[in-house]
Amino acid sequence: MIRFESVTKCYPDGTLAVDDLSFEVGTGELVTLVGPSGCGKTTTMMMVNRLLDPTHGRIFVDGADISGADPVTLRRRIGYVIQQTGLFPHRTVLDNTATVPVLSGWKKARARARAAELLDLVGLDPAVYGPRYPEQLSGGQRQRVGVARALTADPPVLLMDEPFGAVDPVVRDRLQKEFLRLQAELRKTVLLVTHDIEEAVRLGDRIAVYGAGRIEQYDTPASVLGAPASPYVAEFVGTDRALKQLSVTGIDHTDLERPPFARLDEPAGRAAARMRADGARWAVVLDADGALHGWVGRDEMSGAPGTVADQARRMEAWVPVTGTLKQAFSEMLKHDAGWIAVLDGPRFLGVLTPTKLHEALRRTIGSGGRGVPRERAEVDSVPTE
Ligand SMILES: Nc1ncnc2c1ncn2[C@@H]1O[C@H](COP(=O)(O)OP(=O)(O)OP(=O)(O)O)[C@@H](O)[C@H]1O
């Protein structure tokens, strides 16, 4: 969808901001550009919507060389979100959001209706926030309006320059989650600039790690964390990359253990005897369909009347098989559990133990790991009720 071919940008004062850059972003892919200040990320981005033109090389959007494209027409297909949201202070939130469609010649009523739809999509009730002015919003709400405005013309491409940079960490966390959900639905082709490796890992399908004017590594988050291409990248992603890797590594079926289990409708005494014979002190309780019901301890079942169902306790420590190692680990800590159940829908697949978690983590370091789709990384919440 976006392709850079040997692109160089030298500013008139001689600063070489981007040096012979070649990379490609697939349709519907979210690529994060990450690197220290001044390494050329913003310059890269601004060449895509022709706010800047390359000194050498070519950029293609949807197969067409943009050097000949009319910038205004081009920008209609490319949404742009910047940190200082660029909202007009004297216009209401609704009119700010409707700006692009109005400029494109839409009737005001239609543009406003579309703007209201988009405000709703980013979690702002248009009836409440539409009539307000930007100064009457919080920083996080202003960022949401910025995203809504960029989406009103339904552009296939989004450029986002530090879109969540101006808000505090708690709000940033929420905006990132919301944006991932939105992106899972809309599947725009996104280039997102950040200087924060955590954000790059969390949001990117792929990450371009910048050195001065060049991409040092272009790969999935799991690979950048698991197998940095150079000492520079290793240093940039940080010494705690093993921990960061937890959030982008999925649960592998081969790491699951099958613990002893008891059937819900089994007589308690019989289940206890079987567990004793197997040397098991506890068992997972499953119903007839293999769905997880809870767990039982052998001792409280010995001599107990009734069925396993009467003795079973609820199992709160579980993760979906689509989850990440980080989720598994944090659920384990939250419930002070020695192991954690892994479910596919309601179906019980097995348990993860701390030993297996550790093995899984060690395996991913150096191998590039088994990544999870970005919209799932870190954002699933596991209900414990
Ligand atoms: N208009 C300009 N004229 C001259 N040099 C410029 C101009 N704009 C940017 N530069 C320089 O080009 C280099 C790359 O800048 P750019 O803004 O692309 O970096 P960046 O990676 O986005 O940085 P940051 O994270 O701080 O925004 C820097 O050295 C910067 O000083």
What's residue 152's pLDDT? Answer: 85
Residue 347 DSSP SS3:
strand
Helix (H, G, I), strand (E, B) or coil at 159: strand
Pocket-testing residue among 43, 48, 236, ligand 1, by greatest number of atoms within 8 A of Cβ = 43
Least confident range of 141-145, 275-279, 370-374: 370-374
What letter would DSSP give residue 136?
G
Closest C-alpha among 147, 95, 90 to residue 118: 147
Per-residue pLDDT at 169 exceeds 70: yes
Does 194 sit in the ligand 1 pocket, CB within 6 Å? no
Domains and CATH numbers, the chain: 2-238 (3.40.50.300), 253-364 (3.10.580.10)
| Among protein residues, the one whose CA lies closest to atom 4 of ligand 1 | 11
Residue 356 φ/ψ region, left for φ over 0, alpha for ψ in the -120 to 50 degree band, beta for the rest: alpha
pTM above 0.90? no
pLDDT tens digit sequence for 50-75:
999 999 999 999 999 999 899 988 98
Q: What is the mean pLDDT of residues 228-238?
A: 88
Atom of ligand 1 nearest to the CA of 43: 18
Query: Ligand 1: which residue has its CA nearest to atom 29?
Result: 38
Q: Is 354 exposed, middle or buried (0-12, 13-18, 19+ CB in 10 A)?
A: middle
- Mean of the pLDDT values across residues 12-23? 93
Portion of the chain with pLDDT greater than 70, in percent = 93
CA distance to 119, 293, 298, 339, per residue, from 139 (Å): 15, 44, 55, 41
Q: Estimate to the nearest angstrom the gap between the alpha carbon of 109 and the chain centroid.
A: 35
43 pocket-lining for ligand 1 (C-beta < 6 Å): yes
The whole-number pLDDT of residue 66 equals: 95
Cα distances (Å, whole numbers) of residue 149 to 28, 60, 123, 144, 167: 19, 24, 13, 9, 18
pLDDT per residue as tens digits for the range 128-157: 999 999 999 888 888 889 888 988 878 999
The mean per-residue pLDDT over the stretch 95-108 comes to 85
Distance CA 76, CA 379 (A): 31
Mean pLDDT of all residues in the chain? 86
Q: What is the pLDDT of residues 207-223, one digit of tens each?
A: 999 988 889 999 998 88
Between the CA of 364 and the centroid of ligand 1 the distance, in Å, is 35
pLDDT at residue 364 in the model: 66
Tell whether ligand 1 has an atom less than 6 A from the beta carbon of residue 37.
yes
Quote the pLDDT of residue 369: 44
E-strand stretches of the chain: 2-10, 16-25, 30-34, 56-61, 64-65, 78-82, 157-161, 189-194, 206-210, 215-219, 261-263, 282-286, 292-297, 318-320, 340-344, 347-352
Mean pLDDT of 163-172: 79
